C-alpha cells in the first residue's frame, strides 16, 4: 500500500532521490575519511568515529535512493530486461536442444540427417540427395514442372502430373 502510494507520487520520489543522494554522499565521505585516517594513522586513528556516523547515512541514503528509483528500476526490469532474458533463455535452450539431439545421435552412432530414406535398402540419406548413398537407387522423381517428389510417388504433389 505504501509502495503503491509512493509509486504514484513523483514528487515524493524526487524528494527521496535528493535526500538519498545527499545522505549517501555524506555517508560515503564519512566512511572514506574514516578509512583513510584508519590506514594512515601512526598510532590511534582519531577520525574513526566518522565510520559509525557514515554507516547510518549510507544506509538511509541507500534506502531513500531505492525508494526514489524503485519505479524506474521495476519499469526498466519489466520492459527491457525481461524480453532480453527471455530471448537469451530461448536462444540457449534452442542451442542446447539442437546440440543435445546431435549428441544423442552421435552417441547412438546415427547419421544426423533428415534427408530421404531409401525405399530399397532403408538408408537414411542426406538432405537433398537424389540417389541413395548405399545402393544408388533414385530417391526422388523430378517432375517436368521441376518439383522433387518421393521416389515412390505416382503423381506430382505440386502440379498433379503423372510421374
Write out the residues near Zn ion by the rule CB under 5 A. Answer: 118, 120-121, 123, 132, 134-135, 137, 143, 145, 147, 156, 158-159, 161
Find the shortest distance in angstroms from Cβ 157 to Zn ion. 8
Nearer to Zn ion, 58 or 143 (CB): 143
- Give me the DSSP letters along 120-158: TT-PBPPTT-SB-TTT--B-EEE-TTS-EEETT-SB-TT
Please give the C-alpha separations between residue 107 and each of 101, 110, 111, 112, in angstroms, as whole numbers.
10, 8, 10, 11
Find the shortest distance in angstroms from Cβ 119 to Zn ion. 8
Q: Where are the alpha helices (DSSP H) in 8-152?
A: 10-40, 49-76, 82-108
Nearer to Zn ion, 7 or 120 (CB): 120
Nearer to Zn ion, 4 or 154 (CB): 154
Find the shortest distance in angstroms from Cβ 151 to Zn ion. 10
Amino acid at each position: 500500500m505504501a509502495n503503491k502510494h509512493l509509486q504514484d507520487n513523483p514528487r515524493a520520489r524526487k524528494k527521496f532521490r535528493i535526500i538519498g543522494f545527499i545522505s549517501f554522499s555524506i555517508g560515503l565521505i564519512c566512511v572514506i575519511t574514516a578509512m583513510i585516517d584508519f590506514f594512515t594513522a601512526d598510532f590511534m586513528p582519531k577520525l574513526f568515529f566518522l565510520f559509525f556516523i557514515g554507516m547510518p547515512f549510507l544506509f538511509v541514503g541507500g534506502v531513500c535512493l531505492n525508494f526514489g528509483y524503485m519505479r524506474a528500476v521495476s519499469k526498466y526490469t519489466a520492459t527491457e530486461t525481461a524480453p532480453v532474458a527471455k530471448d537469451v533463455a530461448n536462444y540457449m535452450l534452442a542451442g542446447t536442444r539442437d546440440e543435445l539431439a546431435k549428441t544423442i545421435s552421435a552417441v547412438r552412432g546415427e547419421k544426423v540427417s533428415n534427408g530421404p530414406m531409401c525405399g530399397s535398402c532403408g538408408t537414411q540419406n542426406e538432405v537433398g540427395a537424389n540417389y541413395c548413398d548405399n545402393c544408388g537407387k533414385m530417391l526422388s522423381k523430378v517432375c517436368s514442372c521441376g518439383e522433387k517428389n518421393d521416389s515412390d510417388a505416382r503423381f506430382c504433389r505440386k502440379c498433379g502430373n503423372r510421374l
